[in-house]
């Protein structure tokens, strides 16, 4: 047997090789810069999560977002275990957006000395009037700048997701292939073509949130 290369994904990397003002100027003016400037005067604030309660606030928004997107949610214990194991060693950073004293969005970041990686975004999808994603990405980039981390990763996406690809390119990123090695050498289906993915897209809109959460736990045990 040999390995097969699965190349259906992309990664968007931002090199932190200049000061904050110079990096900001690399962003697309109307699609990124304008929104960030508006957000700075919108009354929303950023805080860094420090406890499992903050992880719970993040997950509350995350699971609702996954339901809106018709995607299976990772179980809460997945985030809880990461927090317990990695946060004491400073390998996790949790950014939370607050508006009117309520957490309304969050970003789960994995990091080390050379990479600051946006892993999981939690925000309202259909009603994100505050454009929290822009706010979170910008504050994450500033955190990487302040810690002298050389590269920010915007996370893996499907090469089919042209809309998200364009959004991430507008942050001045460079695009690199994200290849997985699959063993044994069998053809790897894209996520969108997998049976479980198609079933989830079909049934999730009708599921109450507790059942949706339970289904996610079952699916992630299987896969």
Whole-angstrom distance, CA of residue 149 vs CA of residue 60: 30
Of 117 and 220, the one with more pLDDT: 117
* Per-residue pLDDT tens digits for 67-111: 888 888 889 999 999 999 999 999 999 999 999 899 999 999 999
Which H or E run contains 66? helix 52-69
The number of beta carbons lying within 10 Å of the beta carbon of residue 170 is 17
Residue from 178, 111, 118 nearest 149 by CA: 111
**pLDDT at residue number 185:** 61
* Per-residue pLDDT tens digits for 117-146: 999 999 987 767 778 899 999 999 999 999
- Average pLDDT, stretch 199-212? 80
* Per-residue pLDDT tens digits for 146-189: 999 999 999 999 888 999 999 999 999 999 988 777 776 666 66
Q: How confident is the model at residue 192 (pLDDT cuts 50, 70, 90)?
A: low
172: left (phi over 0), alpha (psi -120 to 50) or beta: left
Q: Are 96 and 59 in contact (CB under 8 A)?
A: no
**pLDDT at residue number 222:** 66
* Per-residue pLDDT tens digits for 34-43: 999 998 888 8
Q: Are 204 and 67 in contact (CB under 8 A)?
A: yes
Q: Are 216 and 74 in contact (CB under 8 A)?
A: yes
Tokens of 29: 């003016």
Distance of alpha carbon 161 from its chain centroid, rounded? 14
Strands 151-158 and 102-111 come out as unpaired
**pLDDT at residue number 186:** 62
Give the Å distances, CA to CA, from 109 to 23, 100, 115, 136, 156.
20, 24, 10, 11, 13
């Amino acid at each position: 047997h040999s390995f097969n290369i699965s190349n259906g994904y992309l990664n968007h990397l931002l090199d932190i090789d200049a000061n904050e003002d110079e990096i900001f100027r690399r962003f697309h003016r109307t699609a990124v810069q304008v929104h960030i400037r508006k957000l700075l005067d919108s009354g929303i604030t950023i805080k860094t999560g420090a406890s499992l309660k903050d992880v719970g606030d993040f997950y509350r928004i995350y699971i609702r977002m996954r339901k809106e997107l018709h995607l299976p949610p990772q179980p809460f214990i997945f985030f809880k275990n990461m927090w317990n194991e990695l946060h004491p060693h400073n390998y996790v950073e949790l950014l939370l957006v607050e508006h009117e004293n309520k957490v309304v969005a969050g970003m789960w970041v994995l990091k080390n000395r050379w990479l600051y990686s946006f892993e999981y975004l939690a925000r309202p999808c259909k009603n994100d009037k505050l454009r929290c994603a822009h706010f979170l990405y910008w504050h994450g980039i500033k955190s990487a700048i302040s810690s002298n981390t050389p590269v920010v990763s915007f996370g893996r996406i499907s090469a089919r997701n042209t809309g998200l690809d364009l959004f991430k390119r507008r942050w001045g990123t460079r695009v690199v292939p994200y290849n997985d090695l699959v063993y044994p050498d069998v053809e790897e289906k894209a996520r969108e073509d997998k049976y479980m993915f198609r079933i989830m897209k079909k049934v999730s809109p009708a599921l109450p949130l507790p059942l949706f959460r339970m289904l996610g736990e079952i699916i992630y045990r299987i896969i």
